[in-house]
Amino acid sequence: MMKTGAEILCECLLKEGVEVVFGFPGGVLLPLYDTFPKYPELRHILVRHEQGAAHAADAYARVTGKIGVCLATSGPGATNLVTGIANAYLDSAPMLAITGQVPTFFIGKDAFQEVDITGVTIPITKYNHLVLDAAELAEYIREAIYVAQSGRPGPVLLDIPRDVLQTKTDFVFPEKVDLPGYKPKLFGHPAQIKKASDLINTVERPVIIAGRGVNVSRAFAELKELAEKSQIPVVTTFLGIGCFPESHVLSYGWLGMHGMGYANKAIHHSDLVVAIGMRFDDRATGVVSAFAPQARIIHIDIDAAEIGKNLNADVPIVGDIKNVLQVLNKQITKREHVSWLSQLDEWRAIHPATEVRDHEGLLPQYIIRQIHEVTKGDTIIVTDVGQHQMWAGQYFFYDKPNSFVSSGGLGTMGFGLPASIGAKVGAPHETVWCICGDGGFQMTVQELATMVQENLDINIAVMNNGWLGMVRQWQELIYEKRYFGTQLYNPDFVKIAEAYGIKGVKVNKKIDVRPAIEKAMAHKGPFLIEFVVEPEENVYPFVPPGKTLVEFLEMPSPSGSLKK
């Protein structure tokens, strides 16, 4: 059947199960925007900045497990996607970025709005191509989506010139993907799995570190079986939050720079680390040479290039986590680690990282806990980047997979607001809370308009402390309080919301927190709460850079007694 490139693109996206495209039009995309109305099943969400489209697609993918699609025009539109693509790359989110390109006869001539976006995005995509022939478009789309979603997921980019969108060609949806060089290894090596089970069956102080790979592989039941059968405590990474219920008796929080003291101690004193779908990121390990000094390491990951990258593994297993754990679980014996678990409980008692302390002023930690109480934990939390992000990880308890959406690897300020759009669009029946700082909120504030246009029921909490809090904290603790470039002169966030047509309230006092949260929840459509919080509150525990995981700083006393 003869179809234009633009029609082929729409048909292929629909055939691949894509329902939503986050996009922003431009000159070279006009043929596509002229075609969209013919495909009403394909929902187009108009963002206000292409970065927003990328973050929304990223969060959509994390919440649904399906591919997120973002669309931008050539030149500046394409370069505006770059931050969002890098974010998806570092956090392994499956994403298809489609960029318009100047017509083929202009390529390479520095035409108006021409940028070599495939060149720019080489280091931050799994796969990218400039499609020069409409006849090859369907094949490229199929390949790109397959690569993005399989193996270790990640972003892919297709750059499509205007004339390719306009050219009519015979359209056949390719049934097969032909990529001789791409073979994700799905099943772990039996001999390595045997070695792993032998270790698990004999050690005394094991710890599981579960990362985002468990979410990606949907190996929740398998992880639980492994932990319960062998009675191994589970610590997650920051991006692994939610892959193991935090209310579970074997859950011991998450590790790293702002992880729980008891989680870090557990790892430091363990004799076996079972690392599952994680990559020993520097924020997770502290000084890597002193990470888990007494432990042997079993490292399970689908990406062979992660094995031995940051830390040498005694037992490397390359494979899909769900498959590997299914085999592993058959080989492990029932164990009990009574004294080890009671040691961990003791550490948890002396390092209560998740207790909100008694304090007159308005603490961000208190607000997060109140959101947890009002929602009963049944919400998707989307965060921006900074102090509030760490508190959202610490003071909210996550029992549901993929209920925590945050920019971990890249630490992209400005991620929160557009990501909450993607989360809500992906999970329309879930409550979504977007927790932002006053700094990051202003980086992508324009997406408030998108929320209004799409009437998305998103609750936004802006923690206004008048500082770029995380940087200020480092200046305080590491640079002897030489504050520079971190104090913010802020607008009235409620008035900003109102200007966009969004209802909002400002909260200064503890007593008003709960009613405001309830009001936001009761309201249909976007609602913003500006919380004017303690300006110089710090995130603890804190493993300063260059220190090992057990050299964490805790909240200095007596700044208030801990509420038990």
Taking residues 82 to 121 in sequence order and writing x for each that binds other proteins by CB under 8 A, - otherwise, the string is: ------------------------------------xx--
Kindly state the smallest distance separating residue 350's Cβ from other proteins, in Å.
Answer: 38
Cα separation, 42 vs 27, in Å, equals 21
Q: Is 205 in the site for other proteins (CB under 8 A)?
A: no
The stretches of 318-402 forming alpha helices (DSSP H) are 321-331, 338-350, 364-375, 387-395
Q: Is 303 in the site for other proteins (CB under 8 A)?
A: yes
Written as six digits, the tokens of 360 are: 């007159």
Q: b/e for 27-37, b at 16 or more Cβ within 10 A?
A: ebbbbbbebbe
Taking residues 312 to 351 in sequence order and writing x for each that binds other proteins by CB under 8 A, - otherwise, the string is: ----------------------------------------
Kindly state the smallest distance separating residue 400's Cβ from other proteins, in Å.
Answer: 9
Q: Is 218 in the site for other proteins (CB under 8 A)?
A: yes
Q: Mapping DSSP to helix (H, G, I), strand (E, B) and coil, where does residue 463 land?
A: strand
Size of the site for other proteins (CB under 8 A): 36
Q: Which of residues 139-158 bind other proteins (CB under 8 A)?
A: 146-147, 149-150
Please name the amino acid found at residue 248: H
Contact 335, 230 (CB under 8 A): yes
Written as six digits, the tokens of 165 are: 């969108």
Q: Which of residues 165-194 bind other proteins (CB under 8 A)?
A: 175-183
Kindly state the smallest distance separating residue 248's Cβ from other proteins, in Å.
Answer: 20
Sole window of 42-50, 387-395, 423-431, 514-522 interacting with other proteins (rule: CB under 8 A) = 423-431
Kindly state the smallest distance separating residue 347's Cβ from other proteins, in Å.
Answer: 34
Q: Which is nearer to other proteins, 79 or 486 (CB)?
A: 79
Sole window of 232-240, 272-280, 282-290, 301-309 interacting with other proteins (rule: CB under 8 A) = 301-309
Taking residues 226 to 265 in sequence order and writing x for each that binds other proteins by CB under 8 A, - otherwise, the string is: ----------------------------------------
Q: Which is nearer to other proteins, 175 or 336 (CB)?
A: 175
Q: Which of residues 439-498 bind other proteins (CB under 8 A)?
A: none
Q: Which is nearer to other proteins, 428 or 545 (CB)?
A: 428
One residue of 109, 334, 376, 429 binding other proteins per CB under 8 A: 429
Sole window of 73-81, 100-108, 426-434, 471-479 interacting with other proteins (rule: CB under 8 A) = 426-434
C-alpha separations of 368 from 71, 74, 391, 433 in Å: 34, 41, 7, 10
DSSP 8-class letter at 289: G
Q: Which is nearer to other proteins, 46 or 304 (CB)?
A: 304
Contact 504, 527 (CB under 8 A): yes
Kindly state the smallest distance separating residue 306's Cβ from other proteins, in Å.
Answer: 9
Exposed, middle or buried, 320 (CB in 10 Å: 0-12/13-18/19+)? buried
Please name the amino acid found at residue 289: S
Q: Is 200 in the site for other proteins (CB under 8 A)?
A: no
Q: Which is nearer to other proteins, 66 or 514 (CB)?
A: 66
Cα separation, 418 vs 459, in Å, equals 13
**C-alpha triplet 55, 241, 532: angle, nearest 5°:** 65
One residue of 225, 399, 430, 454 binding other proteins per CB under 8 A: 430
Kindly state the smallest distance separating residue 279's Cβ from other proteins, in Å.
Answer: 13
C-alpha separations of 73 from 12, 67, 107, 308 in Å: 19, 20, 15, 39
Q: Which is nearer to other proteins, 282 or 492 (CB)?
A: 282
Cα separation, 89 vs 120, in Å, equals 14
Q: Is 427 in the site for other proteins (CB under 8 A)?
A: yes
Q: Which is nearer to other proteins, 14 or 349 (CB)?
A: 14
Q: Which is nearer to other proteins, 45 or 147 (CB)?
A: 147
Kindly state the smallest distance separating residue 131's Cβ from other proteins, in Å.
Answer: 11
**Strands, E, within 5-153: which ranges?**
20-23, 43-46, 68-72, 95-101, 127-130
Kindly state the smallest distance separating residue 315's Cβ from other proteins, in Å.
Answer: 17
- Residues 6+ positions from 431 with CB-CB distance below 8 Å: 375, 378, 379, 380, 457, 459, 521
Q: Is 136 in the site for other proteins (CB under 8 A)?
A: no
DSSP string, 313-325: -SEEEES-HHHHH
Is the C-alpha dihedral spanning 297, 302, 304, 305 positive or negative? negative
Q: Which is nearer to other proteins, 301 or 438 (CB)?
A: 301
Kindly state the smallest distance separating residue 427's Cβ from other proteins, in Å.
Answer: 5
Q: b/e for 283-304, b at 16 or more Cβ within 10 A?
A: bbbbeeeebbeebbbbbbbbbe
Q: Is 307 in the site for other proteins (CB under 8 A)?
A: yes
One residue of 76, 108, 308, 544 binding other proteins per CB under 8 A: 308
Q: Mapping DSSP to helix (H, G, I), strand (E, B) and coil, where does residue 542 land?
A: strand
Taking residues 58 to 77 in sequence order and writing x for each that binds other proteins by CB under 8 A, - otherwise, the string is: -----xxxx-----------
Neighbours of 451 (CB within 10 A): 26
- Residues 6+ positions from 452 with CB-CB distance below 8 Å: 500, 501, 502, 525, 526
Omega before 401 within 30 of 0, i.e. cis: no
Q: Is 123 in the site for other proteins (CB under 8 A)?
A: yes
Q: Which is nearer to other proteins, 174 or 466 (CB)?
A: 174
Q: Mapping DSSP to helix (H, G, I), strand (E, B) and coil, where does residue 79 land?
A: helix
Kindly state the smallest distance separating residue 491's Cβ from other proteins, in Å.
Answer: 35
Kindly state the smallest distance separating residue 309's Cβ from other proteins, in Å.
Answer: 6
- Residues of this chain that bind other proteins (CB under 8 A): 63-66, 118-119, 122-123, 126-130, 146-147, 149-150, 175-183, 218, 303-305, 307-309, 427, 429-430
